[in-house]
Amino acid sequence: MIEDTEPPRRPSVLWAGRLAEKPEEGAFAFQASIAVDRRLARDDITGSRAHVAMLAARGIIPAGTARALDAELARIDGELENGTLKIDPGAEDIHSFIEGVLTTRLGDPGRMVHAGRSRNDQVALDLRLYLRRTLPELRAELARTALVLLDRAEEHAASVMPGYTHLQRAQPVSLGHWLCAWACALGRDWERLGDALGRLDECPLGSGALAGSTLPLDRGAVAKALGFSGPSLNSMDSVADRDFALEIAAACAIIQTHLSRFCEDMVIWSSEESGFLDLGEAWSTGSSIMPQKKNPDFAELIRGKAGRSAGNLMTLLTLLKGLPYAYDKDLQEDKEALFDSLDTAQNCLRIFRGMTAAARFNTERMEAACAGGFLEATDAAEYLVKKGLPFRKAHETVALIVRDCIALGRRGITERSIEELRKYSPLFDEDLYPSLSPHEALRARDLPGGPAPRELRRQIGVLREKLGG
């Protein structure tokens, strides 16, 4: 038996009965998870309270004991909340810590709480409870961020800018269309987390170590008390799988990938060469050596954090691969990666939102950049298509015009006279010129999904409706 006189850094462990020797100090610390699972304290208590109520209802523990346990669990919850009870950093994990406090304070009643339960189903429950409690916060963060993008998109529904493919000027779009594209991506991230939440709706408690229990537990009642739609189907699956952690880590990695791309655009736009964006002094940093510098460090750091989230996903995939069923201690490694992905997403979204709300876009510069890159070329070809020319011929005709423009030092098709243009195709008319202005090009792109201001406002409305804005 582990003795009561143990040094404080070596608290008695739940499994001390079987092993005559105390665990080696370094090895004990190595396998302890308190530093990571301490954030499950509240959820562990929530789960224990439901378990205790059910044990009493089924006559497995006396009603009076259940009342004492429940009151003490509530007290521990309050004390952890207000800081009068500190989590012992030398404890093995959050489950042993709380059971240890119960036992120290109540004696034998504390020793009754674990009937019909294993830390395997306990941790599977705690993690699910934690995610069901915190994922809505992350989704709200996503929605808030997307709504800021949509506000800025509406503000810039008619601000023309060059759209790029291959980072080469391609066709005119609006800044609003661009910002709305980012909001679309975050909207799907919001949905993805909603889907993941849906699959967290089964209560694993009662699965025990892997094979349930011989005690007459009421799994349905516990599931109901904890707000799940029901108990999980298979006890081995419930303690062995962490696919819910995988898919949430994947959703976080996708969020970070999105943010990373948006930030890449912001970094490029903040360059002197582009000049489309001024992030402002509050959202930039200086250089320790170059006095003139105003660097987009926040955007760069968010871009960089995509690496850690992708890494966390890889950690979890690798962790699960090849693990024999059911529970293995390897599974303890799931939380550090998952918590880090959740924290990273939450923090990056908050910073990105602030940066986006404050960003000053140089719309004059964007509009000016629409000239000179032959952004009107596709529209000129479509002009000919509307007059009956097959598209491939129209494409060749306009390509020739562009080549000659470049050779002649002309910056746009509209710098050629109608007589000159008619030499390429008699179908050209004076109405070509107004149709090729960037604003007209924008207005004309009014198909569903297009950048025309009216159509863009419809897209903004759809997203606002979805995200509750």
Catalytic residues: 166, 287
C-alpha to C-alpha distance for 119 and 164, rounded to whole angstroms = 54
Q: Does 119 bind ligand ARG (CB under 6 A)?
A: yes
- Identified binder of ligand ARG from the candidate list 332, 344, 414, 459, rule CB under 6 A: 332
Residue type, 443: R
List, in sequence order, the alpha helices (H) in 271-333. 297-320
Residue nearer to ligand ARG on the CB measure, 33 or 232: 33
Q: Does 128 bind ligand ARG (CB under 6 A)?
A: no
Q: For residue 64, which phi and psi values (nearest 5 degrees)?
A: -65, -40
Q: For residue 234, which phi and psi values (nearest 5 degrees)?
A: -135, 125
- Cα atoms in the Cβ-side hemisphere of radius 13 Å centred on 150: 25
Count other Cβ atoms within 10 Å, centred on residue 368.
Answer: 15
Question: Angle formed by the axes of helices 119-155 and 94-106, to 10°?
Answer: 120
Write the binding mask 30 to 69 for ligand ARG: x where contact by CB under 6 A, - elsewhere.
---x---x--------------------------------
Range in contact with ligand ARG (rule: CB under 6 A) among 170-178, 224-232, 327-335, 339-347 = 327-335
Q: Which H/E stretch holds residue 162?
A: strand 160-165
Write the binding mask 215 to 234 for ligand ARG: x where contact by CB under 6 A, - elsewhere.
--------------------
Q: Does 93 bind ligand ARG (CB under 6 A)?
A: yes
List, in sequence order, the alpha helices (H) in 171-279. 175-198, 219-225, 235-240, 243-270
Residue nearer to ligand ARG on the CB measure, 97 or 262: 97
Least gap, CB of 209 to ligand ARG (angstroms): 7
Q: How many residues does the chain have?
A: 469
Q: Does 120 bind ligand ARG (CB under 6 A)?
A: yes
Q: Does 315 bind ligand ARG (CB under 6 A)?
A: no
Question: What sign results for the dihedral spanned by CA atoms 156, 371, 172, 359?
Answer: negative
Residue nearer to ligand ARG on the CB measure, 131 or 331: 331
Q: Does 141 bind ligand ARG (CB under 6 A)?
A: no
Q: Does 184 bind ligand ARG (CB under 6 A)?
A: no
Least gap, CB of 204 to ligand ARG (angstroms): 12
Beta bridge partners of 350: none
Burial 135-158 (b: 16+ CB within 10 A, else e): beebbebbbbbbbbbbbbbbebbb
Residue type, 128: R
Range in contact with ligand ARG (rule: CB under 6 A) among 106-114, 119-127, 137-145, 342-350 = 119-127
Q: Which conformational region is residue 166 in: left (phi greater than 0), alpha (psi within -120 to 50 degrees), or beta?
A: left
Q: Does 123 bind ligand ARG (CB under 6 A)?
A: yes
Least gap, CB of 52 to ligand ARG (angstroms): 19
Least gap, CB of 21 to ligand ARG (angstroms): 17
Q: Which H/E stretch holds residue 277?
A: strand 277-278
Q: Does 340 bind ligand ARG (CB under 6 A)?
A: no
Residue type, 311: G
CA dihedral 170, 174, 179, 181 (to 10 degrees): -60
Q: Does 375 bind ligand ARG (CB under 6 A)?
A: no
Residue nearer to ligand ARG on the CB measure, 120 or 362: 120
Burial 212-221 (b: 16+ CB within 10 A, else e): bbeeebbbeb
Residue nearer to ligand ARG on the CB measure, 315 or 362: 315
Range in contact with ligand ARG (rule: CB under 6 A) among 74-82, 230-238, 323-331, 424-432 = 323-331
* Bond into 68 cis (ω within 30): no
Q: Does 329 bind ligand ARG (CB under 6 A)?
A: yes
Q: Does 96 bind ligand ARG (CB under 6 A)?
A: no
Q: Does 320 bind ligand ARG (CB under 6 A)?
A: no
Residue nearer to ligand ARG on the CB measure, 117 or 305: 117
Q: Does 331 bind ligand ARG (CB under 6 A)?
A: yes
Least gap, CB of 199 to ligand ARG (angstroms): 20
Applying CB under 6 A, the residues found at the interface with ligand ARG are 33, 37, 93, 119-120, 123, 327, 329, 331-332
